[in-house]
Structure 1
Amino acid sequence: MIVPWQELDPDTLENLLQSFVLREGTDYGEQELSLEHKVEQLKEQLKRKELVLVYSELHESVNLMPADAFSEKD
Structure 2
Amino acid sequence: MIAFIGGMIGTFFVVINSYVLPKLGVTLTTLFAIIGQVVSSFILDIINGQAGNHLLLQSIGLLLIILGVYYQYIKKYN
**TM-score scaled to structure 2, two decimals?**
0.28
Q: Which has the higher helix share?
A: 2
Larger radius of gyration: 2
TM-score normalized by structure 1? 0.29
Question: Normalized per residue, which structure has more strand?
Answer: 1
